[in-house]
A and B are shown apart, each in its own frame.
Chain A
Amino acid sequence: MTPATAPPLTPAAFQVLLALAGGAGHGYGVMAFVEQTSGGTVRLGPGTLYRTLARLVADGLATETEGADPDAPHDARRRYYELTALGREAVRREAELLAAFVEAARTAGLLGERRCA
């Protein structure tokens, strides 16, 4: 599916795809997901959100869902998006890669006790 030579996802692209995989289909929902998951550390501005989603759509990792108005202002916050199969595969691969590094970080003693809900 994903070509072996596909480039790694940028942090913003990974976070947006992760938000879509978790069900947030709306631009505002993606921004909220990233901010909440990162405990407020990462905030995607509307410009970054728009550019990231436009690039993901152009690369075939996400699509805009029905109801999108092509003449509407370039405000990704108001539009709806979903993952394509390629996007789902890409975010899954990136998550596995990150998990491997996080495990190494845990072994190196960089991560404290796992925070539980």
Chain B
Amino acid sequence: MRVSTRPTGFAPHLFVKDTEAAIAFYTKVFHAHELWRNLLPDGTILFVELAIGDHRLLISEETPSLDALAPPTIGGSPVQLHVEVEDVDKVYRKARWAGAEEEIPLQEAFWGERFCAFRDPFGHRWAVSTAREQLSPEEIYGRTPPEV
């Protein structure tokens, strides 16, 4: 019987300089819940698995020998993680108070969401949104500005 190669799960794995601080930030801002952590016998954290909503987020401490480098080391992050929430204003406020840096201010976006983007204290980038309207792709094309 052929085994399917269709993915059954998908999770970002973030490298940070301060694992405990990162767990505290994601717990406070995104209601993340620590499921478990994998430790070496000497207490070093190999990785931590968090639940964010119904999804998984993995966090590891920066480990150069494994090429697991944190954003400050490599000059930033080319990835933006999108999170949908019920109240983007509340989440954004919590993030800012916890040390996040604004990238895109809160706004009613043309694609039908209230939306913002920020860089967390560990250099990882997030876009957070609350759905306003359910728009079809055609409706969104009609509203896309001519340039950014």
Measured CB to CB, the residues of A under 8 A from B are: 5, 7, 10, 13, 50-51, 54-55, 58, 74
Given contacts A51-B51, A54-B35, A55-B54, 10 further A-B contacts (CB under 8 A): A7-B53, A7-B54, A13-B54, A50-B35, A51-B49, A54-B51, A55-B33, A55-B35, A55-B51, A58-B33
Which chain B residues border A54 with CB–CB below 8 Å? 33, 35, 51
Q: Mark B44-62, 1 if CB is under 8 A from A, else 0.
A: 0000010101101000000
Chain A residue, CB-CB nearest to B52: A55
Any A CB within 8 A of the CB of B133 = no
Instruction: Give CA–CA (A55, B56) in the complex, Å.
Output: 11
Total chain B interface residues with beta-carbon distance under 8 A: 9
Q: Are A10's CB and B35's CB within 8 A?
A: no
Which chain A residues border B33 with CB–CB below 8 Å? 54-55, 58
Known: A58-B33, A74-B36. Contact between A51 and B53, CB under 8 A? no
What are some 11 contacts across the A-B interface (CB < 8 A)? Answer: A5-B86, A10-B54, A50-B35, A51-B35, A51-B51, A51-B56, A54-B51, A55-B35, A55-B51, A58-B33, A74-B36
Smallest CB separation, B97 vs chain A (Å)? 22
Instruction: Give CA–CA (A5, B130) in the complex, Å.
Output: 13
Q: Are B36's CB and A50's CB within 8 A?
A: yes
Which chain B residues border A51 with CB–CB below 8 Å? 35, 49, 51, 56
Instruction: Give CA–CA (A41, B54) in the complex, Å.
Output: 22
Within 8 A of A (CB), among B11-39: 33, 35-36
Which chain B residues border A74 with CB–CB below 8 Å? 35-36
Instruction: Give CA–CA (A10, B86) in the complex, Å.
Output: 18
Which chain B residues border A5 with CB–CB below 8 Å? 86
Instruction: Give CA–CA (A55, B49) in the complex, Å.
Output: 12
Instruction: Give CA–CA (A112, B122) in the complex, Å.
Output: 55
Instruction: Give CA–CA (A5, B86) in the complex, Å.
Output: 8
Instruction: Give CA–CA (A74, B37) in the complex, Å.
Output: 10
Which chain B residues border A7 with CB–CB below 8 Å? 53-54
Which chain A residues border B56 with CB–CB below 8 Å? 51
